[in-house]
Structure 1
């Protein structure tokens, strides 16, 4: 009887771990979805509050990295808010900027305090013709597709965004689509803070933009083989050419506290 009880205790212990892991996965997934809903409506203060206070917290976007909570606020509360809604927190009439968060894959690490997640966004954006003379973007409508490879951290029992890496994979105007996207459709970051008062803390190597189709590295291994995708298979050479002729594979950055 005692052996059966011990076995039951082991089973219950494992079930408790599994329930906690699944619960954490769902909380992280919900966190990312809520990020998208706040971002849709230009609620940038709420977005910034989703981020960790950890010194290695960052956002990577368009070839720049915004470091720390202050960097996060500089991107959302200053740069985005001033560009899209003239500094207010919330939407303005006639401006569309929807960021659906889909295909979420979340993995909790063995400590239960960190997580990684991969998500996709398929954004529709633009202005209504009634505000073409009052909004700085004029009359415009476009599509955007992007990949997130993010990290999350549990602070005082609450999951927060630790390192958000967004790769806007492609853009296309509504009228002509992605086949006719002009080069440098959205310019990469070129100046850092404080030279650019709303610029990133540092610039990143090898930013990418359509028609560059390199693969954003997966945080997870292949579910059947347990292997990572080979570096050369993450590259995107021209049709019929060797992978060595392509730009280098993309590399996910690491937090400074984890780089040594």
Structure 2
């Protein structure tokens, strides 16, 4: 009887652990989806509050890395707010900036405190013709496709964004589509803070943008073979060209601690 009780205890403990894991996965997905909903409406204070209060917290965007909670606020509450909504928190009439969060794949570490997630965004953005004379962007409409490879941390029982790495994979005007997008359609960040009051703390060595089609590395291995994708298969040579002529594979920056 005692052995049966011990087995039952082990089963219950295993089930409890699995329930926590599944709950964590759900909470992290909801966190990322809520991020997208706040970002849609330029609620940048709410976005910044989703990030962890941690020395290793950061955002990577368009070739720049913003460090810590101060860097997060500088990007969203400073740079984005000024550029899109005249410095306010919330939307302005006639400006569209939707960020759907799609295809979420989340993996929680064994420690139950750290996690990684990969998401896709297919953004629709632009202005209505009625605000051409008031919004600094004039009349414009564009598409954007991007990949997130993020890290999350649980603080005081609450999951928060720890290190958000967003790769805006391609841009396209609504009128001409992606086939005629000029290279470097959106310029990479190049001036650091404080020279640029809304600039990054550090520049990233490997920015990429369409028509560059290198693979954003996966945080996970193959679900069947257990193998990572080979480095050369992450590269994107010209049609028929030798792989040695292609740009190096992209890499995901590692946190200072795990």
**Structure 1 length normalisation: TM-score?**
0.98
| Whole-angstrom distance in 2 between the partners of 1:243 and 1:51 | 39
> What is the match of residue 183 of structure 1?
183
Q: Aligned pair 1:144/2:144, yes or no?
A: yes
Q: String of CA shifts for 1:61-105, please: whole Å, max 9, x gaps.
A: 000000000000000000000000000000000000000000000
- Offset of 1:3 from its aligned partner? 1.4
- Offset of 1:243 from its aligned partner? 1.6
| Whole-angstrom distance in 1 between the partners of 2:22 and 2:28 | 10
- Offset of 1:4 from its aligned partner? 1.4
> What is the match of residue 11 of structure 2?
11
Q: String of CA shifts for 1:32-56, please: whole Å, max 9, x gaps.
A: 0000000000000000000001001
> What is the match of residue 231 of structure 1?
231
> What is the match of residue 37 of structure 1?
37
Note the residue ranges of structure 1 that are not aligned, 5 or more in a row.
Answer: none
> What is the match of residue 222 of structure 1?
222
- Offset of 1:257 from its aligned partner? 3.3
Larger mean CA deviation between 146-155 and 239-248 belongs to 239-248
| Backbone CA RMSD of aligned residues | 0.7
- Offset of 1:244 from its aligned partner? 1.4
What does residue range 1-260 of structure 1 map to in structure 2 within 5 Å?
1-257=1-257
**Structure 2 length normalisation: TM-score?**
0.99
- Offset of 1:255 from its aligned partner? 1.8
Runs of 4+ in structure 1 over 6 Å off: none
Note the residue ranges of structure 2 that are not aligned, 5 or more in a row.
Answer: none
